[in-house]
Structure 1
Amino acid sequence: MKWPAFKNIPISEVFPNDWIEKCVDDSLRSLGVDHLDLVQFHVWQDDFIDDDGWKNTIQKIMKSGKVRYWGISANDYQPSNCFRAIDTGLISTIQFIFNIFHQKPTEKLLPYAAKNNVGLIARVPLDEGGLTGTMVVDTKFADGDFRQHYFSSDHLLELVTRTDKLKTLLGHEAKTLPELALRYILSWPEITTTIPGIRRVKNAQTNTSVSDGHKLSIKLMQELKNHVWERNFNNDHGHDPWLASSNYIEP
């Protein structure tokens, strides 16, 4: 097996058909349930569509009743690299990076998914912690924490400068930066849900409290367009994560 899904690598080498079935059976056994509501392919290339094997496999699994819906976790910063998959009618959800800094999905993915009745799961809503508002210019990360690279010194300084500007927008619509970040995402009607990382009970309580149906005003949503900060993180492949490489980020 090969992972992640680089272009021109066939899906049979990333998600072999027997592996898909094994993962489903292993998950059913581990969870002690008779079916899974949603199974997502983690990483994706739309040229996978040219192989009918995986399509036949997931349809067989669905007919068996083991899985109700299938989804795709789109590659980092490639929110449109799933449209052909959506067109098959076999994919019910798309998980993708979306936050105040990375707003590109609003251009194509959100309207396309809405048109095709596909659910949208926004990941990295707090920009790996950058939009929590807790980082300062001398914040340190433990060895092995990928944020050592994501928020290296120069990038951390830029982050703090940008989050300080965002904090000037706080008020009655959003009292904290995390609340602003989550409400921004949930204010888009096309979005089904968002999945912030949660390590503490307090964070779980405050994050879920944002799901109260209160959306940001049109004026504030327009203002947040001025805070786009497009970057790319893919340290696993030896690239500077903050360079918009054409191999990893949509133009």
Structure 2
Amino acid sequence: MNYRRLGKTGLNVSEISLGTWQVGGKWGSGFDDVLAERIINEAIDAGINFIDTADVYEAGASEAAVGRIIRSRSEEVYLATKCGRQLSPHTNENYTVKALRKFVEDSLKNTGLDCLDLIQLHCPPVEVYYRPEIFELFDRLKDEGKIKNLGISVEKIEDALKGIEFPNVTTVQIIFNMFRQRPSELFFEQTRKKDVGVIVRVPLASGLLTGRFSSKSTFGKDDHRFFNRDGAGFDKGETFSGVPYEIGLQAVDELKQLFPEYENLAPIALRWILDFPEVGCIIPGASKAEQLHSNVKATGLPPLTQEQTNAVNSIYERYIKSHVHQLW
């Protein structure tokens, strides 16, 4: 495993880390503690030292599993969690200092930890970024020893650029992959200037970039890849990175021709992301241990050649860009 400095947090984190949205089973299938513990333990065995979760993942079961395993291990493993999405309705008005403080304290109880390495605002409404009192709260929580760092998780680059104007925002979690390339423009430039750590989520476009789906693939009714393609549940950019499914399949077919030696494209898709030095870590999910080990392979691959990179960019320009580039 290779490690990178995560911006001004100063943490050296595994470049392939672990996201836990579906760690206890497939999306919509319920949470399996035994499976979750196996995946998380095997991740740590593989050298992963940064695990991302959220208070809304399986109503806190994911947080509890991650915290329980971190406490049981001798290695130093960093826990990142998120808060805000429990608010219903999820509106600017409901973002209050009192509510967010309670969420942080609940996460501490849920994980069993004395201090959270990183707490992230979970894709808040854009108006929240114009309220200094919200960000000042996390300075107080840091002074109280309850958190070490504040980050933000965002849907849109515009939100990220506004959020990092606050000096206590140390990281941004954002969607970035072969099918969502816009962050590599102005956003990465600004993270370099401000020493903000970049955490990449949805790196495989909800599995689309593994190359294992087809027009005949089916998904369970509670799987967001079934019900959220048009944004029925939340931002559609979280599902297949916002790329229309059939268009994505066409682009993936060309990627398969470009990398014929890879039956599973996941390692090469992750390697493409790692070729950007601004990226601190990637947090692909895993619903089984085999997926975890496939993801970790990326850390041992050589960078893509310039010819390969140019070809990937050409596929993006021809198939994907018009559908996603200016939306997020």
TM over 0.5: yes
**Runs of at least 5 residues in structure 2 that lack an aligned partner in the other structure:** 1-86, 230-238
Moved over 6 A (4+): none
Amino acid across the alignment from 2:251: R
Amino acid across the alignment from 2:250: T
Contact 1:100 1:227 in 2 (8 A): no
Partner of 2:56: none
Distance in 2, Cα, partners of 1:86 & 1:156? 32
Residue 51 of structure 1, aligned match among 126, 131, 135: 131
Partner of 1:176: 264
Aligned length: 227
Matched, 1:212 2:290: no
Matched, 1:222 2:310: yes
CA shift for structure 1 position 55: 2.3
**Runs of at least 5 residues in structure 1 that lack an aligned partner in the other structure:** 232-241
- Distance change >3 Å, CA 208–CA 74, structure 1 → 2: same
Percent of pairs with identical residues: 26
CA shift for structure 1 position 123: 0.8
CA shift for structure 1 position 226: 1.3
Distance in 2, Cα, partners of 1:117 & 1:127? 26
Residue 199 of structure 1, aligned match among 267, 276, 287: 287
CA shift for structure 1 position 96: 0.8
Distance in 2, Cα, partners of 1:146 & 1:34? 33
TM-score, normalisation: structure 2: 0.63
Partner of 1:42: 122
Amino acid across the alignment from 1:165: E
Partner of 2:140: 60
TM-score, normalisation: structure 1: 0.81
Partner of 2:249: 160
Matched, 1:187 2:275: yes
1:166-201 per-residue CA deviation (whole Å, 9 max, x = no partner) reads: 0111157x6631112111111100001111120111
Matched, 1:89 2:178: no
- Give SS of 1:111's match: helix
Partner of 1:235: none
CA shift for structure 1 position 222: 2.1
Distance in 2, Cα, partners of 1:48 & 1:157? 36
- Distance change >3 Å, CA 83–CA 140, structure 1 → 2: same
Distance in 1, Cα, partners of 2:88 & 2:314? 39
- What is the Cα-based RMSD across aligned positions, in Å? 2.6
Distance in 1, Cα, partners of 2:126 & 2:144? 26
Contact 1:46 1:83 in 2 (8 A): no
- Distance change >3 Å, CA 193–CA 96, structure 1 → 2: same
